[in-house]
Amino acid sequence: MHPRPTRPTSFGGFGGLTGPIPRDLLILFSVLFVTFALRFFETTGPLIDRLLLSRDVWRGHVWQIVTYPFIGFGGIFFLVSLIFLYMFARDVFSGLGRRHFWRLVLLATITSAVVALVADLVMSRTVGSAANAFTLMQGQSLLWSLFIAAFATAYRQATIYLIIIPIEARWFLVLEALMIFIGFLYTKDIPGLFGMYTSLGIGVWYIRSNGKWIGLRELRLRMERRWIQWKLNRMKRKRGFRVIPGEGERKPDVRKGPWVH
């Protein structure tokens, strides 16, 4: 795979496996590999499985909401999966920086788990519990959804050569959504489907918003400002008041007299 960017961007552009590995990613992928290996031993396997997302969250195993994407999950092609995942993760890390990278990962991890758990709870009360609940989103599967979405959003105009087929990065969002749906057809995992699409959506939203969201205080101030503006507009219409525009508002063209300094 090799990129051909068409416009500048803060992301590296899918640089492959060259260059030094960021320490944070080295730790992340080492954890994925070690936990993947430990699942094959009788003594450590059950302990690692307790870190995967399950309905035991409702019984007090709340740590699973945070730990499940850091457990290596997969089969014989696990190592190949990690290599390609790293290519996306490195560009996301270099583009966002350490603080926003981990904020994005934790936000997607916790939110996706909550959405999937609520979906499973609703199903259990209506149509019945899913047999393979959360299978789609276990381990690095959620990180795949998140990092590809973030990369494709930030570097959407880049051309990635998938073997010999050139594909613009923005189309990776469509391909990813289709792959998640195909995985759902095999597993019938509706909670996992909701969780994966939540992760995809958070990856897109976080990059487009530059990692910023409105705090409660700012939200309250905005609502108060809109309420005051509505009252002023209402008084203006009823009594013919002329409202002097404040800072940041467009002011009408007024010819200044000799008294204006």
Residue 53: inside a domain, yes or no?
Answer: yes
Give the 3-state DSSP-derived string for 98-125, with helices as H, strands as E and coil as C.
HHHHHHHHHHHHHHHHHHHHHHHHHHHH
- In which band, very low, low, confident or very high, does the pLDDT at 122 lie, cut at 50, 70 and 90? very high
CATH code for the domain in which residue 193 is found: 1.20.1540
Cα–Cα distances (Å) from 118 to 55, 65, 105, 191, in that order, read 10, 12, 20, 8
Residue 137: inside a domain, yes or no?
Answer: yes
- Calculate ∠ Cα 107-139-166, nearest 5°: 85
Q: What is the pLDDT of residues 125-171, one digit of tens each?
A: 888 777 888 999 999 999 999 999 999 998 887 777 766 777 788 88
> Looking at the predicted structure, is the pLDDT value of residue 46 above 80?
yes
pTM value surpassing 0.85? no
The arithmetic mean of pLDDT across residues 183-190, rounded, is: 92
**Residue length, the chain?**
261
Cα–Cα distances (Å) from 42 to 38, 39, 51, 68, 198, in that order, read 9, 8, 16, 20, 34
Number of domains in the chain: 1
Residue 235: inside a domain, yes or no?
Answer: no
d(CA 192, CA 173): 18
- In which band, very low, low, confident or very high, does the pLDDT at 260 lie, cut at 50, 70 and 90? very low
Residue 134: inside a domain, yes or no?
Answer: yes
d(CA 42, CA 74): 18
Structural domain span for residue 152: 23-208
